[in-house]
Amino acid sequence: MGLFSKKQKPKESPATDEPALPPAEPPEPAAEKKGMLAKLTRAISKTRMVLNRRVLGVIGLGQKINDDILEKLEEAMIEADFGVETTDFLMDVVRSAWKNGNIEQTTDILPFLRKDLKQRLTHRGNELHFAPKKPTVILVVGINGAGKTTSIAKLAWWLESSGRHVVLAAADTFRAAAVQQLKTWSERIGCEIVTGAEHADPASVAHRAAERALEVGADILLVDTAGRLHTQKNLMDELRKISNACAAKKIEGAPHETILVLDSTTGQNAVTQAEMFKQSANVTGLFLAKLDGTAKGGAVLTINEKVEVPVKFVGLGEKLEDMQPFDADRFVEALFDLEGLTEAE
């Protein structure tokens, strides 16, 4: 049976392995861009502190580039958690540009890297793709503990706040706490949710949710999926069943997006998870959760280079509104804003 709720009084969040979300506060449009840049800058502050301390000391004096300077720059990048492989790659690019005469002074390096990184982070496209005919079906995948359920709530809030009618499908039927969380948050957000009995077939929940989305003319069907499928075959089989359930309701092209939620603080583990899900689930975009003060911004570059799937959303805190579509320009500018923003900004 489907559950419909529209902006009811929030219930107390159930105990679970993910923290409850504080109530949402509508953003202030006039200050949104400046505020999000400040928030993003603070979120990657650990990386910026390293860059500020090390990189400016290496390249801030306007010297001619030489091998010794590039070795020191490489050490600073690795300390800032860009990742060894990404750092090696970026330094190869910098060295090549230097040897080809495209950069000569140390003051040329940051402008060059800004331009290069923006291109690397955007060339696959960071926009969420919507189906030509609604509803757009978005599967959300990821292991338990990565922040998947919280991220789905944030994504639903963002979509609803942008004027789109969302139906949630709580298809992670193996985890009662996840279903209860989504029910509570759907009431808080003001969107409809379709649930099933504990341990019910996830595809049956997706089937009824697709039916409901068509019935009410929803713009988005947002489907949670199980995070405890330990083999690629189990994962592929489950996601195929869910996809077929949506297609059976004549939603052409479903799913239109498969978003993988990764804990951006876990480094190589996040890369490994992404590679497995990419092979099994036809992942089209990444939601990097927990990109807060404990995360190092270089992880975003590492994941982008290794996984070759575009980053589409980032989570910047615990509140519903603490997320945003990924903006490579803002991210790179925040990462290399070595003078920093004041707390008031």
Per-residue pLDDT of the chain (345 residues; tens, 9 = 90+): 444 444 433 333 333 444 444 444 444 444 455 566 677 777 676 666 666 667 677 777 788 999 999 998 888 877 766 667 778 888 988 999 999 999 999 989 989 988 998 999 999 999 999 999 999 999 999 888 888 988 999 999 999 999 999 999 999 888 888 889 899 999 999 999 999 888 889 999 999 999 999 999 999 999 999 876 656 678 778 888 898 888 888 898 999 999 999 988 777 778 888 888 887 788 999 999 887 655 566 778 778 878 889 999 998 877 888 888 999 988 888 777 655 433 333
Instruction: Give me 301's structure tokens.
Output: 């570059």
CB 258 within 8 A of CB 283: yes
Residue 21 burial (CB count, 10 A): 24
Residue 311 sits at the vertex; the CA angle it makes with 305 and 313, to the nearest 5 degrees, is: 155
Q: 1-8+33-345 has which fold?
A: Rossmann fold (3.40.50)
CB 79 within 8 A of CB 50: yes
Q: What string of DSSP letters covers 169-202?
A: EE--TT-HHHHHHHHHHHHHHT-EEE---TT--H
The C-alpha atoms of residue 36 and residue 273 are separated, in whole angstroms, by: 28
Beta strands (DSSP E) in the chain are: 2-3, 136-141, 166-170, 192-194, 220-224, 257-263, 285-289, 311-315, 323-325
**Residue showing tokens 């500020």:** 52
Strands 285-289 and 257-263: parallel
Instruction: Give me 185's structure tokens.
Output: 């948050």
pLDDT of residue 46: 64
Residue 129 burial (CB count, 10 A): 13
167, 203, 256, 259, 338 from 128: Cα distances, Å: 17, 24, 9, 10, 30
Instruction: Give me 72's structure tokens.
Output: 């020191």
The C-alpha atoms of residue 5 and residue 40 are separated, in whole angstroms, by: 33
| Burial grade of 195 (CB within 10 A; 0-12, 13-18, 19 or more) | buried
The C-alpha atoms of residue 19 and residue 332 are separated, in whole angstroms, by: 29
**Residue showing tokens 């519903």:** 320
Strands 192-194 and 2-3: antiparallel
pLDDT of residue 13: 38
Q: What does the domain layout of the chain look like in residue ranges?
A: 1-8+33-345
